[in-house]
Structure formats: C-alpha cells, structure tokens
Amino acid sequence: MTTTDRHERAVRELLQIVESVYDQIDLGDIPQMELALRSKKNIEFDVRKNVWTYGDQTAHRTAKTIKGATLMLRTLHMVDFIRDMIDNKHSSTLREMYYISEGWGNGKFHSQDESNLLAEDLEIISRCMREDFKLRPEEDGARVMGDLTLIETDRKGKRKTINCRDDVGDSGYSIPFNVEKEKVEMKSAGADFVIAIETGGMFDRLVENTFDEKSNALLVHLKGQPARSTRRFMKRLNEEMGLPVVVFTDGDPWSFRIFASIAYGAIKTAHISDYLATPSAEYVGITSSDILNYDLPADKLSDQDVAALKSELNDPRFNDEFWRSEIEAMLQMGKKAEQQALAKYGLDFVTDTYLPEKLSQMGILL
Amino acid sequence: MHSDDGKNPKAAAQKGKRSIANDMAGKQQEISVTEFFEKNKHILGFDSRSKALLMGIKEAVDNSLDACEEAGVLPDISVSVERTDEEEEFRIVIEDNGPGIVHHMMPNVFGRLLFGSRFHAQRQSRGQQGIGISATVMYGNITTGKPAKIMSKVEEEETAWSMDITIDTKKNRPDVRNDQPFIWPEKEHGTRIEYYIRGRYVKGKQSVFEYLKNTAIVNPHAQLVYSDPEGKTYVFERATTRLPPKAKEVKPHIQGLEIGDMMRLARDSKQKTLKNFLKNDFSRISDRVANEILQLSQLNGDMRLSSLNRENVRDLVHAVSSVKIMAPPTDCLSPIGEDLIKKGLKHVLEGNRPEYYAPPVTRAPRVANGNPFVIEAGIVYGGELHSEGQVTILRFANRVPLLYQQGACAITKAVESIDWRKYGLEQRGGKGIPYGPAIIMIHIASTKVPFTSEGKEAVANLEEIGKEVALALRLCARSLKSHLNKKERKKKTRAKFDVVQQILPEIAEKSASMLGRPVPSLDSTITKIMNVVWIEPSSMMEKKGLRTVRYNIYNYTTSPKSFMLHSVLPKSCLNETIISDVLVEVTEEGKTTWKMEDLPPSACFELEFQLDGELSDVFGESDVFVSGLNPTMIMGAEPLPGDWGIKGMEISESENLPEEEEDEMEEEVLNDDD
C-alpha cells in the first residue's frame, strides 16, 4: 500500500464515523460511538502474534453525557482537521492540534493528554495508524549507540548511510519519529544484541565505558517510557536484523511497566501491539534479587509504589512466575533501587562485573 | 430610683452574698456608686479608648431604640462622630425621634447612675440595667472635663429644653447648668445628646460602623444615619414599616431560679406570707401548684416571708424543680421573626450578593433561670462574602449587636459544638468555628439576658441557652446543606442542559457540513436524552419592591404532560399579574397552584408574574414544587412534600433521587505509555 493509498483509506474510515453520528441523529436516536474498552480488564494474549491486544469488550461513548457529547464533537472536528491536512499535504504535531482546537467551540481540548488519547481512539475506530492521519508526536528521538548501519532518507529526499557508532558523536544516533521503511532502512549490524537502557545517566556510563565495543552491544536509550518510534525501532532491529533485545532499567514498579510495554505491548496502545511490541525481549535488571545479591543502596517504597505493585499483580501481562515472584519479593522487602546504585562498587562495576554476569546467565554473552 | 435596702435586717445581714450591682446601689455605702464606677470603668465596658468611644454610642442608640418602640414610633436615629482640635478627643452627637423626656426627669436620666424604671421589670428591652447612658455622660465628663449637652422635646409641648449636665461622682447627683427652654424648629418630639469623649476611632469588626450595620440587620424597622470622622455619611434605610410588637412586663418564672435569686425576690417582695409570695410574685403559679410546692418542701404557706431563711429557700428551690409548672407566658418577648430576619439580613448584606439565605428560625420560647427566652438564627452563604478564614458570627441580645468577648460567649460555644462538616462547611476536626463564605447570625431575646458581666458583651454559658442555640443553628444548617445539595444537582442538570442546548446542535451542524447534507432535526434526540420536564426559575428586580418572577417549563419527554406547579408566595405582594389561564388557586397563606395541561413534547411554557411590595425580595423563586408527575421526570423543582404548607415545615431532601449516570464509558487508562 502506498503512502497516498494509506491516507485515502484513513479519510474513508474516518468519514464513516461522521456519517454514523449524522445518521443516528437523523433517525432521532441518541448518537453513540463504539470502541474497544481501553483498560487492563480488556487485554488478551494474542497467541498468533505473541503480544497482548484488546479483547472483545467495548465501551459506548454516547452524547447523553457532557463528557461523551464533548468527545463526539471533538472527534468530528479532528476528523475534519485530518481530512484537511491530507488534502493540503500538511502534517502537524499533536501539540499543534491541541492549539488548533481553540477554534473548535465546545469541542476544544483542555489538555494535551486529551488530544493524544483521542488520536489513539481514532486509530482504534478506523484501524489506521496515527501516522496515516499525518499526526506526529512531539518528542525528540531517543538515542542509539553501537555498530549498526542504516540508510535514512532526509527531509530533502537524500539517502544518507549512517553507522550508529562511527558516523555519530558521543551522544549517538537520534531516532526520528517515523521509523518506517520509507524513512529508515536497516542495512547491516555488527552488534550481537540490543540493550535498552532506561536512564540517560546509565546510557552515558555505558557509552563512556565503551560497552558497545567491548561487549559488541547496540545501546538504545529509552528515556523513561519509550516513545512509539523507539519501540518500533527496536522491534525492527529484532525482526529484521535478528538481534535479541534485553532491557535494563531501575528496579521499581514503574520500570517493570516500561519492560512490559516493550515486550508485551502497552495497554494504551494495545490495538497496535503487534506493530510495536518485541515479545522476545528479556529483562536484565535491576531485579529484586539484584538488590539483595549485590547489596545495593535502596530506597523505601512509597505508598504510590506499593499501590502500583499491587495493581501489577492483577495485570494479566505480569501473570507469570518470574514477575509474580519479582513483584512479591519487592513488596516483601519494601525497597527499590536505581540503576546507578551499582556505582557503589565503582564506575566500571556495571560494565565489568554486573552486566557480564547477568548477560551470561541469560546466554546473551558467552 | 429603686432602693429598699435596709428595710429588712435579715437581708441586710446577707449583703456579702448579694450581687455587685445591688451592693453598689446601696445608699448607705460610704463610697458612692458613681465613684465606684469611675474607679472600675471596665465593669461597664469602658476599659479601652477605642471601646469607650463605641460603648457610649451603643448605650445612647440602644436607649433611643427602646424609647421609640415604647412610644410606637418608627425610629429615625442619627449618629455623628467628629474629631476636635484636642488630641484623642471626639464630639459625639446622637439624635432620635423618640417620645422625648419630661423636663424635670432629664437630669436624672442622664446624670444619675442606676436610674431607670427597668431595673426590676421582667420585660425584654435593650438597656436592662439603666446604667449605660449616664455612665457615658460620666466617662465623657471625666476624660474631657466638658459637660454633656442634652436637648429634648415632648410631643405637643410648646418648647423643648436644653441643659448641660455633669455628674457629681461623690454624691451620684447630676450637676445641671444652662437649663433653658428653646424652640426646636421642625422637631415634633425627640432627644439629642451631645458629649465629648477621649477615645480612639477604629475601623473593622469592632467599629461604630459595624455596630450600626449590625443594629440595622436586627432592627429593620429603624432608619440609621451615620456621619463618620472622615465626613462620610452612611444611611441604613428602613426595610420595613412594621414595628415590633410591644413587649409586656411579666412576673418571673420560678423554675430555674438560683437560691440567691429567690432570696433577693423574697426580700424585695411586698407579700406577707410565703404562699402569697409564691402565688402573686411568680407567673404560672396557681393555688394548686403553690400547695404542691409547699407540700414538697415541707414549708407552711402561712409562714411570714420575712422569717424565710436560706435553708427554707434551698428546700423551696429543690421542690420547684420536681413540680410541673406551665412555661412562662411568652408574649413578654418580642422576637424579630423569620420574615424580618431575612429581610434585615438581605437589606444590609445584599451588596455582597450572597448566594443563599437559609430560612431563619425562631424557636419556641424556653426558660433559663426563671426568665423566658427565645433563640433566633439565620445563615447567609456564598456570593461575595469573604471566603478566607473563619465564618463571621453575628451575635445579638435583645436586638443589640454584641461586638466583644466572642470567645467567652455561650452563643459562640454553641456554634463551636456543632460538626459543621455535615452541613457543608469546612471545620478542623469537626470542632470550633467553621471556615468558609458564611455569616451565622444568632439573636437571643429575653426578659433578662444572662450576661457574663455588666458590660453586656457575652451571654453566660447556661445549658438551656446553649442547647437552644445549637438546635436553631442545626435547623438553619440543614437548610444550607439542602441548598448545597440542590446546587450540586442543579450543576448536573445544567450539564445535561448544556449538552442539548449547545453541544448537540454543534455536533449536528458539524457532521452535516462535513458530509454536505442538511442539518438534521434534534427534537427527538433531545427528548430521548433528557426525558424530563425541566423547570427553570428566574427572577429580576425591576425596581425597589417590584420583582418579576418567571418559570420556563420545558417538556423534554416524548408525550404530552399534565401536572401541577406549587409555590408559597408572599400574599401581600400579589397583584393582577398572577391571574392567568393556568392559575388554579391562591389560598389565604399564599399557597399558589398552577395547572399545566397537555404540555406537548419539545414545547416550552413561560409562566410569569410580578411581586409588588415590601416582602417581594423575601420570596425564593427556586422553592417551587411539582405534583402529579413521577419525581424522576422533574428537573429544576422538588416533588411536593407530604406536609406541604404546614408552618415551619422543613423540606426534607430526598437523597435517593436517581443519580445521573455521569460516565457510562469506562476508560481506565494506565499511564504507562507515550
């Protein structure tokens, strides 16, 4: 399917929503829209695709309530706006759309979260991607460092071959918001595996210690919760280049969710899990047992931490032996630790001792 | 002047146990009453310079109001405060249109302490001890060395009289100079006092302005004019021409009297025997009741009253507590009344546009220490009332604002004892003075308000009073809570209204324009969404005393609807505008009923009428009720309560009205993604 085809299909799908609203009013009914229930109660494991996606439960958004009616009006405006952009060959960021909504009367957005959520709703209803709507996120790309060669088509249409270690500075290659084939082509990889790192501090430590060269690793900085493009980029490395992916984060409930969104798919974007998730990704640490085994400096769990852990215990994505024992162990000891706590044993400890030990246990390093 | 001390040797022997005020009234004392007060100014409330300035004015205004009411005159009182050339010295002038004072009595009224007819009267009045105004004159004399100038004219006398008065503090005798008649042009009757005082002028909570403003609230029949030292003049206009009914004198009620009180009454009595004393000096004691008391206390009714000793009195007091005696007659009290409290509050506070006036409560009379009393309360909420910090408590005793010693007052303690959080106000730990944009007003009317001191600043903490205050406040608080609930519900229905009035039309237009089709009709959709009869009350003040009230009645259901609409209108304000095709009846009490017959779906009926007259602003247009229709089908009005129209009904909130399903769509999104 060409880019133009994809855009045309998106407009067709979106206009169907508008038509359905119009017809319902014309028949004298209360207009409503149906979409998948976006809750952890409604995610199921898709055996075929090996990821978690939305189940069959749906939610009705009706014009009966002020919230439902407002969302419906907003949806109409947004569809109109998308159609306009596609007609005029423009694109805009989600943030720009948030400001454009000032002119949408009662349908205007009150926060940017609302515009993000609605864009995802439209993806679900129309079974298109937000990129098809010419909407892009407002995010600077995460960084990559290591022996990977790719060809990026720049904004003027020129194809540039880039090696993510030799052709970039110490801050690495920056992942663009569009990582599809027409933009980024994977050429060759000298690295043996991908290590995704939660914090910038740890990414820079591994770069400074030349972990990419010593262990033949491709370092990817997640910047907290990874953006869609970062997850898609890793999925392509895994699928197209055959590189295993491991995830290295802090040892706390929020980091567990970062891993889940990479490996199993995020609840919010479960409709495109098969496009974003890397089911074979593995968790390196920091684990609860790391905190004990390495005697890491740890902080007390806050009330929110405890609540998050408990909520994870009934999240279907964490319903396996490894995660249950990890979560229960953390609740029991009441402690969490940062990646950088490893510096207790010196700046080289993480690259000389911790990662080699953990990665060879996992069979990644020999 | 009352004084019968010394007549009774037994009583004189017990002087040490008697109240200070009586003590000081004793002629045989070497130190004169006046001299004593000069040395103990704080007892009268003249203990600081700023307070002294206010207290003087308060005493004079209280006297003027009392005098006007006694004479059946609507009070017109002006107060002026001016700085003089001397440091901290002020010239104060208070003038009224009261009945005036007979010439030969003028020196006594203004120049002798404890002069006055009210000292023993069991009747509700402002000045209860008769100490006040002469103390003001004396304080002025002492601090400035200048006399007070008094002018007074009695109706139908040819001339008015003017005199300068100073008080000889050694003898408690007025010293009169320049006593002369004069012609007072255009003054039919009234009194004017002009005096100098050293004091401090303050603003805020304990200022002259605040005192007069609060006085205006509880005396809506009075017109007060105030000229302040900056040369500004404020007019608190009369809100009603209804004079409060005149308070009658009554005998004390025997229940609740302490041993000492009873001993004093026995000593002062003109009766010879104990039984006659019981029967004739107290209210509600019949022959049968007197016998019962005597029997219980094992005392002989023929016993000479003068031989009654402390032990006898103690037995008597004990016996009285277990005898059933009718409550004291209450026509001696003159409460402000629910309508006029609301009127007074509205009149003075309207500038702050409060959002809600809880219907004021006037409790039935009760007895404390043998004196009947009535508690009245009101709560004003929201609007531009200041919302930072604690609520304002306005305390009144016999229509006099109490500005000092809030913390020591039984009224404040009763306010603090209530858990206001239940009623929608903030309060730390459910105790203490609540927080928020509210004014709590409490009035105690009594033949003898039990003050903590002669300065009359705080009500003594008697159990019966505290209990009554709390009860009255709870009633008002419940109305407040019900208002807040109603407001919350209104917000929700308003949201629904917004959906059908604004958002839905936008959806229809937008979808139509995107598809290039005609805008679809919304009637059927709107009806399905609302499925209620919507009543929207509104009102507009056309001019003073004239108000237009309107009910927009929408039928947002799928079938024609018939039902009745009810409201209680102030009868005195009705005029021909009430007459319409849908009016069914207006009863004696102003209960009004309209009938809607077959109001078609999607139709709106406009019901409009005018209220004309003094009480037009007291009517709350949102107090409208519907009958003949399932309550779940009504929005904007309450279902007609079962006890509709019964006086003092409290409209109970039916909390189980169907809640709107505000959000049918569950959208629990974990924040774990970009």
Interface contact B463, partner A, CB < 8 A: no
Look at A236 and B170; give whichever has higher pLDDT: A236
Q: Please confirm, yes or no, whether A345 is among the known catalytic residues.
A: no
The helix (H) or strand (E) run that includes residue B608 is strand B604-612
Question: Residue B157 has what pLDDT?
Answer: 84
CB atoms within 10 A of CB B421: 14
- Look at A266 and B673 and tell me if their CB atoms are within 8 Å: yes
Of A28, A66, A258, which has the smallest distance from its Cβ to B495's Cβ? A66
Give residue-wise pLDDT tens across range B354-385: 888 888 899 988 888 778 899 999 999 988 88
Phi-psi region of B337 (alpha: psi -120 to 50; beta: other; left: phi over 0): left
Q: Does B494 touch chain A (CB under 8 A)?
A: no
Q: How confident is the model at residue A51 (pLDDT cuts 50, 70, 90)?
A: confident
A133 against A21, higher pLDDT: A21
Q: How far is A158 from chain B (nearest CA, A)?
A: 30
Strand partners, A186: A150
Of A15, A69, A228, the CB nearest to B507: A69
Average pLDDT over residues B153-166: 90
Using the predicted structure, report yes or no on whether residue B672 has a pLDDT greater than 60.
Answer: no
- Give me the residues paired with residue B592 across strands: B567, B586
Please give the biggest Cα pair distance in chain A: 72
Contacts 24+ apart (CB under 8 A), B238-243: B238/B74, B239/B340, B239/B343, B239/B344, B239/B346, B239/B347, B239/B614, B240/B340, B240/B343, B240/B614, B241/B74, B241/B614, B242/B340, B243/B69, B243/B72, B243/B74
The confidence score (pLDDT) of residue B15 equals 44
Q: Return d(Cα A58, Cα B667) in angstroms, integer.
A: 10
- pLDDT confidence bin for B83, thresholds 50/70/90: very high
As a residue count, chain B comes to: 674
Q: Which amino acid is at B413?
A: K
Looking at the predicted structure, is the pLDDT value of residue B653 above 80? no
pLDDT tens for each residue of B577-630:
888 889 998 888 888 999 999 999 888 899 999 998 877 877 878 788 898 888
Mapping DSSP to helix (H, G, I), strand (E, B) and coil, where does residue B30 land?
A: coil
Average pLDDT over residues B634-648: 66
Q: What are the Cα distances from residue B419, in Å, to A124, B409, B411, B427, B474?
A: 51, 18, 15, 8, 10
Nearest Cα of chain B lies from the Cα of A14 at a distance, in angstroms, of: 11
Question: What is the CATH architecture assignment of A143-361?
Answer: 3-Layer(aba) Sandwich (3.40)
Supply the pLDDT for residue B38: 66
Beta strands B532-543; B634-635: pairing state: parallel
Contacting residues for B659 by C-beta, under 8 A, at least 6 apart: none
Mean pLDDT of A59-66: 85
- pLDDT at residue B595, rounded to an integer: 92
Using alpha carbons, select from B507, B551, B528, B549 the residue that is nearest to residue B602: B528
Secondary structure class of B25 (helix, strand, coil): helix
> Per residue in B50-64, pLDDT tens?
888 888 898 899 889
The verdict on pTM exceeding 0.80 is no
User: For the domain with range A3-136, which CATH number is right: 1.10.10.10, 3.90.1150.10, 3.20.20.140, 3.30.710.10?
Assistant: 1.10.10.10
Query: Can you give the pLDDT at residue A106?
Result: 86
Which DSSP helix (H) or strand (E) runs through A234? helix A228-240
Q: Which of A22, A54, A99, A264 is catalytic?
A: A99
Average pLDDT value for residue range A40-55: 82
Nearest CB to A63; choose among B499, B512, B670: B499
What is the structure's pLDDT at B1? 40
Strand B223-227 relative to strand B76-83, pairing: parallel
Put simply, whether B517 touches A (Cβ < 8 Å) is yes
Residue B260 pLDDT > 50: yes
Domains of chain B, CATH where assigned: 31-236 (3.30.565.10), 259-321 (1.10.8.50), 338-482 (3.30.230.10), 521-639 (2.60.40.1170)
Which among A73, A225, A261 is the nearest to B510, CB-wise? A73
Token code pair at residue B285: 């004691």
CA nearest to A16 within chain B: B515
The C-alpha atoms of residue A164 and residue A233 are separated, in whole angstroms, by 13
Which letter does DSSP use for residue B253 in this model?
B
| Higher per-residue confidence, A366 vs A69 | A69
Find the mean pLDDT for residues B35-41: 68
Q: What is the pLDDT of residues A158-192, one digit of tens each?
A: 999 999 999 999 889 999 888 888 889 999 999 99
Whole-number pLDDT of residue B575: 87
Would you tell me the crossing angle of helices A228-240 and A253-263 to the nearest 10 degrees?
Answer: 50
| pLDDT of residue A53 exceeding 90 | no
Query: Does residue A105 surpass a pLDDT of 90?
Result: no
Asked if residues B250 and B123 have their Cβ atoms less than 8 Å apart, the reply is: yes
pLDDT tens-place string over residues B425-435: 999 888 899 99
Of A234, A231, A238, A220, the residue nearest A173 (C-alpha): A220
**Between β-strands B438-446 and B392-397, what pairing exists: parallel, antiparallel or unpaired?**
parallel
- Condensed to tens digits (0 to 9), the pLDDT of residues B89-100 reads 999 999 999 999
Distance of CA B41 to the CA centre of its chain: 29
pLDDT band at A96 (very low <50, low <70, confident <90, very high): confident
Query: Which residues fall within 8 angstroms of residue B297, CB to CB, at 6 or more apart?
Result: B312, B315, B316, B318, B319
- Rounded to an integer, the average pLDDT of A187-202 is 93
A107 contacts chain B (CB < 8 A): yes
Amino acid A352: pLDDT: 93
DSSP state string for A89-157: T--EEHHHHHHHGGGSGGG--SSHHHHHHHHHHHHHHHT--GGGGTEE---PPPEEESSEEEEEE-TTS
In DSSP terms, which residues pair with B168 in a beta bridge? Answer: B173
Report the C-alpha gap between A55 and A39 in whole angstroms: 10
Q: Is B508 on the interface with A (CB under 8 A)?
A: yes
pLDDT tens-place string over residues A246-293: 999 999 999 999 999 999 888 888 888 888 899 999 999 899 999 999
CA-to-CA separations, B40 to A90, A97, B56, B226, in angstroms, rounded: 89, 78, 16, 30
State the distance between the two ends of chain B, measured CA to CA, in whole angstroms.
90
Pairing of strands A217-221, A193-197: parallel
Q: How far is A52 from chain B (nearest CA, A)?
A: 14
Q: Read off the amino acid at residue A218.
A: L
Q: Which residues contact A293 (CB under 8 A, 6 or more apart)?
A: none
- Domain positions in chain A are 3-136, 143-361
pLDDT in tens, B485-537: 888 877 877 777 788 888 999 999 999 999 999 999 888 888 888 888 888 88
Q: What one-character DSSP code corresponds to residue B499?
A: I
DSSP string of A254-313, one letter each residue? HHHHHHHHHHT--STTGGGHHHH--TT-EEEE--HHHHHHTT---EEPPHHHHHHHHHHH
Q: What is the pLDDT of residue B644?
A: 58
Q: How far apart are the first and last CA of chain A?
A: 43
Q: Note the pLDDT of residue A266.
A: 86
Chain A residues 230-289 within an 8 A CB cutoff of chain B: 257-258, 260-261, 266-269
Angle formed at CA A233 by CA A231 and CA A237, multiple of 5 degrees:
115
Measured between beta carbons, the chain A residues lying within 8 angstroms of B515 are: 15, 18-19, 22
Classified as helix, coil or strand, B223 is: strand
Q: Please, is B255 exposed, middle or buried when counting C-beta atoms within 10 Å of its C-beta (0-12, 13-18, 19+)?
A: buried
pLDDT band at A123 (very low <50, low <70, confident <90, very high): confident
Q: How far apart are CA B612 and CA A334, in angstroms?
A: 72
